[in-house]
Amino acid sequence: MHLSDQGHDVIIVDNLSRRNIDNELGAQSLTPIQTPQTRVKAWEEVTGKKIEFINLDVAKDFDLLVQLFKQEKPDAVVHFAEQRAAPYSMKGARQKRYTVDNNISGTNNVCCAIIESGVDIHVVHLGTMGVYGYGNSGGDIPEGYIDVILPGGRERNILHPAYPGSVYHATKCLDALLFQFFNKNDGLKVTDLHQGIVWGTNTPQCMKDERLINRFDYDGDYGTVLNRFLMQAALNVPLTVYGTGGQTRAFIHITDTAKCVEAAVTNPPGAGERVEIFNQVAETCRVRDLAQMIAKKTGVSINYLNNPRNEAAENELEVINQKFKNLGVHPKTLDEGLFEEVIQITEKFKDRCDTDLIIPKSYWNKNRASTCTEKESLGIESVSSEPLPVK
Ligand code: USQ
């Protein structure tokens, strides 16, 4: 909708897999999202602009994808067609396999279909900050590439080493290698956006009409941390900090992700240039500091749960995001004023919340599962209200 609003002609290609996963998990967006058909109709009524919707599985319908590229000759493909939740990707063997099959085939198909079509299409891919790993870099995280001195003394500028923390994050690392290869071999133009954790609900475009409302996930698999905390505060459920809350992560508001995507679309790399990489983040923050900020604002209490994830209990994170600033995107930082919009949404729709879905139920390995399920049976109220000791 942001791209359409800015005058781009947009076609949505989607197999609605996210909605099907809602059915599988017995979960639903907190906000009542409409069908894609209703949404594109509402968009046209409100703005006079047309967005086409095509139901197609990017990971499977290769020939249709090639045909679509030949027919439409798009300038850019914004590639979001991946299973995007780390906890879901760790739920069990089926979800691990699905995440790898879907995400890697999807990316490979997008690259191969562009090359097969012969159309000069720029791929803008939604990657993740998680490709760098947490606590795996020395100093500030650069935008994609680092200088190294190889044994023997040769100097090179290479992709930052990949250090994924989940099967989902591993697929984004594998995507980066596919892009590097197709760029080198076929001159494919790619921009990879290494995005932090998105928060917020609606963009100015969503606010034009109730039928354009964005989805809002609060469950333990798909809800991201800040939105979950704001939702929990609205219900007066203690905030679910995992472990010590010493995990530092990068954040970006949803309105800015849309602006960053547009900046990437309108600034493709030149012919023969290597894969462009932007760190799509506004700032970094520790999870317990976020929780404390929200607790102070709303009066909700904090629970420190045993961490279902196998991740560093404490890490530092400094990220360079200069390239976006050079393109004129100046992202909003975590601001309690902006929390109001999310709080209003969570207050409005809190009766739709199923509180059973709040406690995390995907565990990174057997040890995490056994430690967490012992506590889980006690219910969320009875877990520690003080930070757990660092292990
Ligand atoms: N966390 C809590 N309590 C919660 C939920 C999460 O303490 O109730 C902690 C997690 O342990 C983790 C951190 O908060 O340390 C972030 O978790 P998250 O679920 O908000 O984000 P994550 O799993 O890292 O994944 C999300 C998106 C993914 C995107 C990624 C960007 O789901 O698509 O790629 O953020 S990043 O984290 O920068 O790699």
The answer, yes or no, to whether residue 219 has pLDDT greater than 90, is: yes
What's the 3-state SS for the chain? CHHHHCCCCEEEEECCHHHHHHHHHCCCCCCCCCCHHHHHHHHHHHHCCCEEEEECCCCCCHHHHHHHHHHHCCCEEEECCCCCCHHHHCCCHHHHHHHHHHHHHHHHHHHHHHHHHCCCCEEEEEEEHHHHCCCCCCCCECCCEEEEECCCCCEEEEECCCCCCCHHHHHHHHHHHHHHHHHHHHCCEEEEEEECEEECCCCCCHHHCHHHCCCCCCCCCCCCHHHHHHHHHHHCCCEEEECCCECEEEEEEHHHHHHHHHHHHHCCCCCCCCCEEEEECCEEEEHHHHHHHHHHHHCCCEEEECCCCCCCCECCCCECCHHHHHCCCCCCCCCHHHHHHHHHHHHHHHHHCCHHHCCCCCCCCHHHHHHHHHHHCCCHHHCCCCCCCCC
In a domain, 388, yes or no: no
Instruction: Tell me if 389 is assigned to some domain.
Output: no
The pLDDT assigned to 327 comes to 87
Tell me whether residue 390 is in a domain. no
- More confident of the two residues 333 and 305: 305
pLDDT digits (tens, 9 = 90+) for 136-172: 887 889 999 999 999 999 999 999 999 999 999 999 9
For the CA of 86, the nearest atom of ligand 1: 23
> Given the CA of residue 198, which atom of ligand 1 is nearest to it?
35
What is the chain's mean pLDDT, rounded?
Answer: 93
Q: Is residue 15 part of a domain?
A: yes
Average pLDDT over residues 356-378: 86
Domains in the chain, number: 1
pLDDT (0 to 100) of residue 340: 86
pLDDT tens per residue across span 92-105? 999 999 999 999 99
220 domain residue, yes or no: yes
Q: Which residues line ligand 1 (CB under 6 A)?
A: 84-86, 128-130, 195-197, 224-225, 228, 240-242, 245, 247, 249-250, 287, 309, 311
Q: Which residue has the higher pLDDT, 363 or 384?
A: 363
Catalytically annotated residues: 128, 168, 172
Quick one: average pLDDT of 337-363?
92
Is residue 110 included in any domain, yes or no? Answer: yes
In this prediction, residues 342-361 reach a mean pLDDT of: 94
Evaluate whether residue 343 is within a structural domain: yes
What's the CA-to-centroid distance between 205 and ligand 1, angstroms? 26
What is the Cα–Cα distance from 126 to 194, expressed in whole angstroms? 7
Position 79 in a domain: yes
pTM of the model: 0.95
pLDDT of residue 334: 86
The pLDDT > 70 percentage for the chain reads: 96
Question: Residue 124's domain is classified under what CATH number?
Answer: 3.40.50.720
Query: Which pLDDT value is given to residue 229?
Result: 96
**Ligand 1 centroid distance, CA of 99 (Å):** 17
252-307 per-position pLDDT tens digit:
999 999 999 999 999 999 999 999 999 999 999 999 999 999 999 999 999 999 99
Q: Find the domain containing 207 and state its range.
A: 2-382
Give the pLDDT of residue 23. Answer: 96
Of the pLDDT bands very low, low, confident and very high (cuts 50, 70, 90), residue 374 is: confident
| Mean pLDDT confidence for 196-217 | 95
